[in-house]
Amino acid sequence: MAHTFEDLVKLERLAEEAHAAYTASPGDGTRATWREAADAFQAAVVEHADAEGKSRYDVEMAAKKAVRHPELAAG
């Protein structure tokens, strides 16, 4: 089953949180968690883009915008 756009936003949010944890306390555990979250997001982006017939880049940027700039994504 393809991921919804809302799923992508959740996965990107998790990846951003994991990256912040790694930045605050670099280590093998936090790096691995960040990479796993980022990989899960990327895989979901590819799956969603294929299912929707959209550009992977456009899907990824829309999800990142929704997470990083929610005030812009809403309007």
Checking if the pLDDT of 20 tops 70, the result is: yes
pLDDT surpasses 90 at 44: yes
- Taking alpha carbons only, the member of 56, 51, 52, 42 closest to residue 11 is 42
> Is the confidence at residue 75, as pLDDT, over 70?
no
pTM over 0.95? The answer is no
Q: Can you tell me the mean pLDDT for 47-53?
A: 96
Backbone angles phi, psi at 4, to 5 degrees: -85, 165
Read off the DSSP letter of residue 26.
-
By the 10 Å C-beta count (0-12 exposed, 13-18 middle, 19+ buried), 46 is classed as middle
Query: In the chain, what are the helix, strand and coil shares in percent, each to the nearest 5?
Result: 85, 0, 15
